Amino acid sequence: MFLTLVVIAAFCVTNALANFTSYEGYKIYEFKAENTTQQETLEILAQNDAYDFFTRPRIFGLPIRVLVAPADQLQFQQTLEAAKIAYTIVNENFGQSVEVERKLNSMYPKQRNAAPGSISFDVYQRYDVIAAYMEELAKRYSSRVKVTSIGDSYEGRQLHAITITNGDGAANKNVILMDAGIHAREWIAPAAALYVIQQLVENYKQNSRLLTSYDWIIVPLLNPDGYEYSHTHERLWRKTRKPVTIICAGTDGNRNFDIHWGKVGASHTACADTFRGQTAFSEPETQALRDLMHSLTGRAKFYLTLHSYGNYLLYPWGYTSALPKNWRDIDDIARAGAAAIKTATGTEYTVGSSTNVLYAAAGGSDDYALGKAQIPISITMELPSAGQQFDPPLSKIEELASETWIGIKAMAENVIEKYKSAIERKKPRKLRFKNVGDTQTCIYS
């Protein structure tokens, strides 16, 4: 009987996967740019929409990975060889990897090994499970947790934001604002955001100091339409799902913010993965985040957006190689996160401005947070891949999420120390005595 059920389940999963986009025969190439000439060749290749650059660092010696369709592989290899760029093929058949991942993620119970009222990190959770988990937290911890909708996606899904406090009822605390999942295919990012939520709510006692003078507001899945589509139709779908033309849908949400919109690193071609949108803020998802940012003006001190992949902690500007006036403050915070992760796990993160470390791309949420919403610390965190690009193995989800939390926690602690809240500034000073020579002096501290 058990064997029969397994066969039926496998048959159902196979049929459910029939509509998935096939990446059969696609290869993933890895190489490094070792000099300026090679870097220029790669910049030219990156402008070709036929090649999907997973990573494109501008720092010599850092690994670059590109997904190439079977029909384009010969020409791609010849171009690399002509530029004397040594390469390796790290995945001979990306389509096979995607099929295995989808089947496993579909067959395993969504809440396996999860305590009642909690969430499992054994699989990549879908939108409905994520929404239900947040609502359950709001019921169980009503004095400390509130879930609101900041808007609706194009397809009508609520964009949930969870506000986490220490329950003291104090108004106008400083805020740490975080989001994930603006790029649909980066499944590990929402998983990491859920882990942060779990730590702040379910493990409150261990992390209560992070909520003493700051509230946390987290949007764990900013692009639910694209995220669901990447689960059901096209694994590497990146954009939103709002139609643009008869044959093209979706906008790259992280090119859609109104700060030097479309200036560089964003495509005007509707079918391109990096399509900037027909106008700035053309997408209801980016409008919702924009409005949330502005509602927190003066309170929000730290904006963190989670992406994958690449082990990077990046900050503005994305539209120019110039740095913001307070770049040293942001850099200090980012490096605190990188150092904490390296100390704990040995994983190394590269820190720097987006343009100088990766590539120029205008219209990003981190640029907008700093430049328009006046959030002083704005950082993009590109999570590791565990060797599997946008789809770390299911067995690695919790490990990567836990590692990410170590870095986020360290950055948050530094922000909290740097930007004291009004509550802390108004705390009554304690009277104490200090020995000065042979006398005692009364001082406040």
Cβ 235 vs Cβ 210: under 8 Å: no
Contact 166, 211 (CB under 8 A): yes
Cβ proximity of 342 and 302 under 8 Å? no
Give the separation between CA 254 and CA 363, rounded to whole angstroms.
6
CB neighbourhood size of 351 (10 A):
21
Catalytic residue set: 382
Are 7 and 35 a contacting pair, CB within 8 Å? Answer: no
Residue 297: which residues within 8 A CB-CB, separation 6 or more? 373, 374
- Contacts of 68-75 with CB under 8 Å at 24 or more apart are 68/26, 68/27, 68/28, 68/29, 69/25, 69/26, 70/25, 70/26, 70/27, 73/27
Strand partners, 353: 315
CB-side neighbour CA atoms (13 Å) of 348: 2
SS3 287: helix
CA 242, 222, 152 angle in degrees (round to 5)?
60
Determine the Cα–Cα distance for residues 257 and 282; give it in Å rounded to an integer: 9
Tokens of 77: 């290899």
Burial class (CB in 10 A: 0-12, 13-18, 19+), 263: middle
For residue 5, give every residue at least 6 positions away whose Cβ sits within 8 Å of its Cβ, in sequence order, or none. none
Instruction: Tell me the C-alpha distance between 257 and 317, whole Å.
Output: 13
What's the maximum distance between 2 C-alpha atoms anywhere in the chain? Answer: 88
